[in-house]
Chains A and B, each alone.
Chain A
Amino acid sequence: MESIKDRVAIVGMGCTKFGEMWDQSHRDLVVDACYEAFEDAGIEPKDIQMGWYGSRETGFTGTQLASALKLEYIPISRVENFCAGGTDTFSNACYAVAAGVCDFGLAVGVEKTKDHFGGFNMFIVEPFDRTGVEWELSPASQFAQLATRYFHHYGLSYEEGKLILAKIAVKNHHNGTLNPKAHFQREITVDKAIKAPMIAYPLGLFDSCGVSDGCAAAVITRPEIAKNLKKDYILVKGLGLACGAGQSVLQPEYDFVHFPEAVAAAQAAYRQAGIQDPRKEIDVVEVHDCFTITELITYEDLGLSPRGKAPEDVEAGTFNLEGEVPVNTDGGLKCFGHPISASGLRMIYEVYKQLQGKAGERQVRDAATGLTHNIGGINGFFTGAVAIFGRSD
């Protein structure tokens, strides 16, 4: 199999403000994000030849995208893969461009989560059937089980574990204050995070990402076309996607302290990108912090921390904005909220800006290689997605 490395370039990206956009329909969000991307790329909407519309709850079929942007009679696929939907949408666009069947592809992820009462469907049915006896569990209850086991497995007391998770929330909130597009732009304290109301033991309110609407979009093309449009196009270095087959909940051997789907996706992406030592070679990272425990475990899943050592790295500030490997420089899901299919593309937007040196107050010095990570679904049935990007020079 060939690698995707250096075969696809991002020439334009757009991202709306994320939040409770009561007076914005998904069409409004799509128009705003995509036109920002078109202007950034220096192309017209009519230059788009194929589209991919990422949405979990905000409409089916590609015609949603066509009608919003008036893209007339082009092929558009609707893509859905839980929280990995945005990256999956982007990946599918990349494969068409790399195959040479499309010069300019548009990948869009959008969600009007707040149109649903209470926001994101508070529950996910397991395993996706509708017998009516499936247990209706909040997403928090899925990830909380890993927190319970992580504390137990590595001998962390409840207080020690809560403190580490709180520090992750504090870091992300701080980064969010530097980002005008984030839903939440305020600092919090460790104490506030620890004492917050319990959502799903042991995760509290500030261990959980917000619920919001949002849209992000990418215009992609082949590098030889990209270089005629701009100098600072960004290259796709690796794309990994891995779907669980139920192993974690069918086999007692699964330990509930890692996400095998994320590990597999990362390994695929690293192999394509030629990365041997992630901690040294990756300059900026966006991970799927739907819950603080997810971010903690992801440090290990991505090979940034050794197994069981992520808490030490959190204590040392390794992943802070000024740290060795800044993670979630834009505030993460914590501050943006999580419009499910938009989040992957929002992460790519931040990495794209970082690599172009356009991240303003959040800028990571000399950012040359960036990584995005998503994990979505339920225990045993997650889809992990990892994408790696690099500068063109």
Chain B
Amino acid sequence: MVGITSYGAYVPFWRLKKDSIQKGFPGEKAICNFDEDSISMAAAAALDCLKGVERERVDGLFFASTTSPYCEKSSASMVAMATDLRRDIATADFAHSLRSGTAALKSALDAVKAGSAKNIVIASADCRMGVPGSPFERNFGDGAGALMVGDCDVIATVEASHSVCDEILDIWRPDGDVFVRSWEPRFTTSQGYLPVVNEAVSGLLEKCRLTPKDFTKAVFYSPDGKSHIQVASKLGFDLNTQVQDPLVDVMGNAGAAMPIMLFVAALEEAKAGDRILLVSYGDGADALCFQVREPIEKLAERRGLKGHLASKKLIDDYRKYLFWRGLLPTERRVETVSFVSVPAIHRERDAILRLQGVKCCNCGTVQYPPQRVCTKCHTRDRFEPYRLSDKKANVFTFTGDYISNPTLERPIMTTTIDFEGGGRMQCYMTDCDSEEVVPDLTVEMTFRKVGFRDGIHNYAWKSMPVRG
């Protein structure tokens, strides 16, 4: 029996009130901070999914997005570093299609079924942009979802799947463009979404010899929070009792990640015996049928979609979003490092990306960054690797920088933190209210982008007040 063995999600802390984009529009959308992107969000969702799972067990990592930071370079390998996985794993990048998330899921299910892997994590994230002021901009939201696929302690088995391929220029973005394009909604809905989703789900029902009332939950990708209602009703699903709320006015349409995130939402409420329909859309549609099993009761605690949705801060200044996305020019900022050294990054990659420190085998002192000579007992080269990314820490001292980059972040909080279990680190703090930062505040670590320079997206870990 193959299926889902764990799940996780990530919704950015910041929510932009839609009213601030254009007056009168209700609700909010999740927007990633200037230091986030699809890779950082996918890592966060994957880490959520891996709560209670030994990293050593994972032998595959698939990344899925329409907004990969690189056109040529794996994002999956970066997520694998952030989640501190083994080297001998299968990785793959699923890209360019709103169905990338379910494509990764289907491939993972097929791989485990075929025996080429045993525990694959799929992590899907998106941060799509619509032209400022457009309905796309209002509807899109940033976020990520992750699922672990395996054949042991399965919480939801995959029963069947049915896919339809439909070549159409309804919604697309060519290489080099920043904003998603579309033909008019009259065309895209009537010729794309509605008939194709109908076709895929009908095909699945026929394949399984099931009817809508056999399902506990129906999870549909919804481009706008409305269109799914039409097709769900037409198929015969009950809007009130069966159809998963797509949360477009709560977090927004998260693109390729949306089906995965909404599936997580459904799993959070599911119990053994439930049957769940999962539908994605994009140049065709994937429809999958899952059966929830008993192990779902025994899953370790995680934030999931619910926990992330509940932890938020509202922004009502639209310009903040525009600055964060680089859509507004800013004044020259003094650059310091005259160049980025790839060899330096490469030899430090375990320390930087895995947040791996060392523990002295002689005196037990935890140190970050890794040292050759122990800071305490001066023993040379007797260390074992020590993961810090999953440890909580206390703020020992901090400051807020008001002048370095005021349009992007003011103040830029920096902290000196002491980890539970040992180790001290100086790092930026993110996603915080500067007024609430005090000595002894408890923080957790988060994987973020610290800059883009010389064509290189640089990632590192920052501290963050524990997301309540």
Answer whether residue A186 sits at the interface, using C-beta atoms and an 8 A cutoff. Answer: no
Please name the residue on chain B nearest to A116 by beta carbon: B334
Contacts of B431 in A (CB 8 A): none
How far, in angstroms, from A40 to B340 measured CA to CA in the complex?
A: 47
Given contacts A148-B397, A249-B416, are A117 and B336 in contact (CB under 8 A)? no
Binary per-residue interface labels of chain B (435-468) against chain A in the complex, 1 for a CB within 8 Å, 0 otherwise: 0000100000000001101101011100000000
Please pick, from B396, B398, B402, B451, the residue contacting A197 in the complex, using a CB distance under 8 A. Answer: B402
| Known contacts A117-B334, A138-B404, A199-B403; A130 and B341 CB within 8 A of each other | yes
User: Nearest Cβ in chain A — how far from B409, in angstroms?
Assistant: 12
The verdict on A201 contacting B400 (CB below 8 Å), with A132-B340, A136-B336, A149-B439 known, is: yes
| Residues of chain B within 8 A of A121, CB atoms compared | 334, 336
Q: A-B pairs with the 10 shortest C-beta distances?
A: A132-B340, A144-B399, A201-B400, A149-B397, A250-B375, A123-B336, A133-B460, A252-B418, A131-B345, A131-B344
1/0 per residue A112-144: CB within 8 Å of B?
000001100111111101111111111011001
Find out whether the CB atom of A250 lies under 8 angstroms from the CB atom of B345.
no
B202 interface contact, C-beta 8 A = no
Interface residues of B in 146-192 (CB under 8 A from A): none
A120 — nearest CB in chain B belongs to which residue? Answer: B334
A145 within 8 A of B: yes
A136 to B404 Cα, complex, angstroms? 9
Say yes or no for B332: interface residue by CB 8 A criterion.
yes
**Cα distance, A124 to B404, chains bound together (Å):** 12
Q: Chain A contacts of B418 at CB under 8 A?
A: 252
Interface residue B428 (Cβ < 8 Å from any Cβ of A): yes
Q: Which residue of A lies closest to B410 (CB)?
A: A198
- Shortest distance from the beta carbon of B135 to any chain A beta carbon, whole Å: 37
Contact between A251 and B376, CB atoms less than 8 A apart: yes
Indicate whether B6 reaches chain A with its CB closer than 8 angstroms. no
- Tell me, rounded to whole Å, the shortest Cβ–Cβ distance linking B36 to chain A: 15
Task: Tell me which residues from 18 to 76 in chain A have a Cβ below 8 Å from any Cβ of chain B.
Answer: none
Contact B399 A200 (CB under 8 A): yes
Q: List 7 A-B contacts (CB under 8 A).
A: A130-B337, A131-B352, A132-B458, A133-B450, A145-B398, A147-B399, A201-B411
CA–CA, A137 and B401, complex, Å: 8
* B365 interfacial contact with A, CB 8 Å: yes
B89 interface hit (Cβ, 8 Å) = no
Q: Which of A127, A137, A250, A251 contacts B414 (CB 8 A)?
A: A137
A246 near B: Cβ within 8 Å?
Answer: yes
Chain B min CB distance to A179 (Å):
28
Q: Beyond the given A247-B375, A379-B426, please list 4 additional residue pairs across the A-B interface where CB-CB is below 8 A.
A: A122-B403, A133-B352, A246-B375, A250-B367
Closest residue of A by beta carbon distance from B343: A131
A201 touches B424 (CB 8 A): no
Selected from B367, B439, B456, the residue in CB contact (under 8 A) with A152 is: B439
Q: Which residues of A contact B422 (CB under 8 A)?
A: 252
The A-B contact count (CB < 8 A) is 140
**CB pair B414 A132 closer than 8 Å:** no
Output the nearest chain A residue to B398 by Cβ-Cβ distance.
A148
CB distance from B408 to the nearest CB of A (A): 12
CB of A104 within 8 A of chain B? no
Q: A133-B345, A251-B365 are in contact. Are A125 and B336 (CB under 8 A)?
A: yes
Closest chain-B Cβ to A260's Cβ sits at a distance in Å of 13
A interface footprint on B95-125 (CB within 8 Å = 1, 0 otherwise): 0000000000000000000000000000000
CA distance A152 to B440 in the complex (A): 10
Q: Chain A residues with Cβ under 8 A from B338's Cβ?
A: 130
> Is the C-beta of A259 less than 8 angstroms from some C-beta in chain B?
no
Residues B362-394 near A (CB distance < 8 A): 365, 367-369, 371, 375-376
Q: Is B194 an interface residue (CB 8 A)?
A: no
> Interface digits, B304-345 against A, CB 8 Å rule (1 contact, 0 not)?
000000000000000000000000000010101111110011
Contact A135 B458 (CB under 8 A): no
Q: Is A146 an interface position by the 8 A CB rule?
A: yes
B375 touches A251 (CB 8 A): yes
Question: Closest chain A residue to B404 by CB distance?
Answer: A138
Across the interface, which residues of B come within 8 angstroms of A245, CB to CB? 375
Contacts of A360-375 to chain B: CB distance below 8 A: none
In the complex, which residues of chain B have a beta carbon less than 8 angstroms from the beta carbon of A133? 345, 352, 450-451, 458-460
Q: Closest chain A residue to B399 by CB distance? A: A144
Check A145/B376 contact, CB under 8 A, given A130-B339, A140-B401: no
Q: Considering the complex, which residues of chain A in the window 176-218 have a beta carbon less than 8 Å from any beta carbon of chain B?
A: 197-203
A140–B450 Cα distance when bound, in Å, is 20
Q: How far is the CA of A198 from the CA of B450 in the complex (A)?
A: 24
Interface residue A256 (Cβ < 8 Å from any Cβ of B): yes
